[in-house]
Every structure is written in structure tokens, then in C-alpha cells.
Amino acid sequence: MRLYSSRSRQKEELPAPRQPDGTPTKIGMYFCGPTVYQRIHVGNARPFVISMWLRSWLQLQGYEVTLVENITDINDKIYDAAPGHSAELAADASRWYVEDTDLLGLGRPDFEPKASETVPEILALIEELVSDGLAYEAGGDVYFRVARFPDYGRLSGQRPDEVHDQEPNPLKEDPRDFALWKATKEGEDTSWASPWGRGRPGWHIECSAMAEKYLGRSFEIHGGGLDLIFPHHENEVAQSRGAGREFARIWMHNGLLRFTGEKMSKSLGNIASLRDVVQEWGPATLLVFFMSAHWRKPIDFDDRALQAAEQQVRTFENRLNWDFGFRAPGPPWEDFTAVVNDDFNTPEALAILHEWVNTGQVELLERGLIDVFGIQLKDVIEPPERVIELAEQRKLARASRDFERADELRDDLAELNWEVRDVADEPGYQLVPIRRSDPRFHDAHA
């Protein structure tokens, strides 16, 4: 399998799924999770979904995968959102995050560490950087010396001489230096003891320490949103590689969700919560929506895109729920494997799923939808006897060319929340339930 890495700017090959002795190859994956101070928006769910899908696929290929996805529960945003009550808010929002992502039905990462639970490891890493001359104390804060890491800027493409002051402080040696430890300030209700006085970790060092704690000094894949490449991930690289760790080999940065063409963010106020979207559209529709764009590309979020995804879900449901035994030659499973193994190309995989719909390859369709992408479709809904009677009457009316009566019977079926579709296979029609989200449901009950 090949995955595009932001660091090398090319597709990188993963090692073979099995070692020469037959044991599974171990793949460590670290994806940056949310900073928890309110319910996450639907854009926050994209890296979660990508990481869960990728873990599932790699496991199916025979790898032994460990997925770590952190929860940032120490951060300026949390202090600002709940002065004097940041710990309480962080605990509540952490719970909301797990509850809301559970709605997707994809399972959980193997480890979901919190920054507040990793402070000893964070302090040890900072002390190592200070001892090696890569960091220094200034007024109770500790800063990383950017000038001591010659490779700074390689990941993001930033030129070191053009990096602006990330965290203004007149005590810093260099405006580009960034905080590893921050002294407690007025209004901050959580703090920890350190060799430099009470304080709390900087954002970037948290992920370096959590990744190493659960995956070791080197691992295969680090992921997160494209907006994290600078300064967050650039600073992670500087800290961890500066301390002698190989750290992550492949850097995956997913494109962002755009709300009517603009990045979706809390600061812009153009957000839709993950919980609200799942409750309105269902998890299957949202997952198919995410499949429709390559993970490295931005994806536009609006009702039209969700309606298109919902229609695709119905297509899959209809094929799996009403299988008339029709089969035609279609793409083999190897074609599906090839597109997924080529930079995890979900739009191409989605196209093959539709080819399996058209050719009646229901076994492959189910394998791809459920086993790989975790898309759980609705169970078969058997039409009631009265619905079948009306459908049979409509069939007879059409056979006798009484199309006016056939249209009346079609309307009668719609009032019972069923759509009738004419098909070539026996019995000559297909009955599809009309969902409550369908405008026809409301028209029938007006």
C-alpha cells in the first residue's frame, strides 16, 4: 500500500503486511484528536473517520495495527471558554466527543490518551530537551530553540527566516521559539509542579509525548487536518526529532470541510455539530459523503452534497434488500483492493461499489461497504400484505393499459409510505419504503 506523505511530498510504500517469518507487520498510527471545549463540528469527524477506515483496511490486509488518537484537554481555548472551570468543561466535552463519534458506528481507536494524564511523560521530554540545549527557561516558561533544529520548516514548507512570532514574549531568545511549558497565569484553574515552577504543558509537546508513550520512538503514520501542518505538526517534528527520535515516517494531512466554499471552523461561526448532522441524515449518509472526496482534498459541505450521499445510500440499501438474483460480470475484488491501496482512494472505491450495484455483485458490495468502510445499512423492511395487494392491482392495471388507474394506485401506495418502481425482473415491480426524511413522506401526510 502507498500513502502520500506531506513530509516527502510523494507516495510512500508501507512495508509488506507480513514479516519473512510470517508474523504480522506492526503499524503504529497517531492521529491528532480534538481540543475539547464544546461539541465537535462535523469537520472534526473527518480525521477520525479516515483513521478508523485506514485501521480497518490495514487489519484486513494482515497488519497488526495500533491506532492512537489523543484528546487535548489542556489548552488556552479551554481556559478561555470556562474561566475557573476548565477541568470540568474538558471532562464534559471529552465525554461528548466520545458519545458523538460513537454515533458513526466505526468503533474506537486502540488508545485515546488525554494530555492531563500524560504530564509526567511531557515533563521528562521537556527536561531532556533542556539538558540537550534545545530548550531554555524564561520567566517560568520553557521554549524550544528553533535555531537549533536546522530541518525546521521542511514538513510545512515554511522558510525558517520567514516564520513569525508564534507566542509573543519579550523574554524569548528568538521570536520563532515556541512554548513547551507555560507558567500558570491568572484565571487558570489547573496547574502541575515542574522544575520551573507550577504551570502546564504547551500544545505541541503534548502530542510528542503521547505518541511516544503508546507507539514508541518511531512509528509509521501520523495524521490530522491540513490546518495542523503549521505550527502544530512542524513543532512536533522539531521536538521529537530534536530529541533523537525518528518519530513518524508518513505524514497524512486530510483536506478540510468547507461550508459553502469556506473552511468550517468554530471561529468563523459556520459550523454544524457532528451530533446534529448524524441525527438528521444518519451515519451511513455522512460516511458515504466522506467517501466521495479523496482524503487529501477539501470537501464542500451542504444539503445538496448530503442529499446526493443519501441517494447513494438508498441505492445500496435497495440492492442489498431486494436482490432478485441478477448477476453480470463486474470488477473483481482485486480492482477494489488496487484503488484502496493506491493512496486510500475512496472516490474510486465508491465508483466500484456502484458498479457492483449495477452488476448485482451483492456479496462484494456488502464486503466493501460493511467490512471495509463500516457503513451499516438499514435492515430489510418487508412490505405489508395490503401494500403487495395494491402493487399487484397496479401491475394488472398497467397490463390492461389503464394508466389512470395505475397512477391512482401508485398514489395510494405513497400514502402508505411505499414507492413502487417498475423493473424487468419478476414480479415486475420493486417496493421501496419512503423514509421520514424524504419530502414525499410529508407530502403524503400533509
pLDDT interval class at 416 (50, 70, 90): confident
The predicted pLDDT at position 374 comes to 96
The predicted pLDDT at position 267 comes to 52
Query: Does 20 have pLDDT greater than 70?
Result: yes
Sequence-distant contacts of 351-359: CB under 8 A, at least 24 apart: 353/316, 354/312, 354/315, 355/330, 355/331, 356/330, 356/331, 357/315, 357/316, 357/319, 358/328, 358/330, 359/327, 359/328, 359/329, 359/330
What is the Rg, in whole angstroms, of the alpha carbon atoms belonging to the chain?
26
pLDDT interval class at 262 (50, 70, 90): low
Other beta carbons within 10 Å of 110: 14
Architecture of domain 2-263: 3-Layer(aba) Sandwich (3.40)
Closest CA to 433 of 325, 327, 291, 321: 321
The predicted pLDDT at position 435 comes to 52
What's at 158, amino acid-wise? Q
pLDDT interval class at 394 (50, 70, 90): very high
The predicted pLDDT at position 165 comes to 72
Of 156-160, 226-230, 250-254, which range is least confident?
A: 156-160
Pairing of the two strands 64-69 and 26-31: parallel
pLDDT interval class at 446 (50, 70, 90): very low
Query: Does 25 have pLDDT greater than 80?
Result: yes
The predicted pLDDT at position 377 comes to 86
What is the 3-class SS of 135-174, one letter each residue? EEEECCEEEECHHHCCCCCCCCCCCHHHCCCCCCCCCCCC
Residue 421 near residue 406, CB atoms below 8 Å: no
Contacts of 130 (CB under 8 A, 6+ apart): 136, 137, 142
User: Environment class of residue 67 by beta-carbon count within 10 Å: exposed (0-12), middle (13-18) or buried (19+)?
Assistant: buried
User: Environment class of residue 144 by beta-carbon count within 10 Å: exposed (0-12), middle (13-18) or buried (19+)?
Assistant: buried
The predicted pLDDT at position 164 comes to 74
Grid cell digits, residue 345: 482512494
Report the pLDDT averaged over residues 4-22: 96
Mean pLDDT of the chain: 91
CATH annotation of 303-372? 1.20.120.640
CA distance 140 to 142: 7
Report the pLDDT averaged over residues 288-309: 96
Report the pLDDT averaged over residues 104-108: 96
pLDDT interval class at 149 (50, 70, 90): very high
In the chain, % of residues over pLDDT 90: 79
The predicted pLDDT at position 207 comes to 97
Segment 158-206, tens digit of pLDDT: 887 777 777 889 999 999 999 999 999 988 999 999 999 999 999 999 9
The predicted pLDDT at position 442 comes to 43
State which H helix or E strand residue 419 sits in. strand 418-422
Report the pLDDT averaged over residues 111-122: 97
Query: Does 237 have pLDDT greater than 80?
Result: yes
Grid cell digits, residue 2: 502507498
Segment 56-73, tens digit of pLDDT: 999 999 999 999 999 999
Query: Does 438 have pLDDT greater than 60?
Result: no
The predicted pLDDT at position 259 comes to 81
Max Cα–Cα distance, the chain, nearest Å? 92
Query: Which of left, alpha, beta for 423 (phi over 0: left; psi -120 to 50: alpha)?
Result: beta
The predicted pLDDT at position 328 comes to 84
pLDDT interval class at 263 (50, 70, 90): low
Query: Does 444 have pLDDT greater than 50?
Result: no
pLDDT interval class at 261 (50, 70, 90): low
Report the pLDDT averaged over residues 428-446: 58
The predicted pLDDT at position 441 comes to 40
Domains 2-263 and 303-372 share a fold: no
Give the residue extent of every domain in the chain: 2-263, 303-372, 385-444
Grid cell digits, residue 411: 398514489
Pairing of the two strands 299-301 and 257-259: parallel
The predicted pLDDT at position 437 comes to 40
Query: Does 265 have pLDDT greater than 60?
Result: no
Report the pLDDT averaged over residues 309-330: 82
Query: Does 266 have pLDDT greater than 80?
Result: no
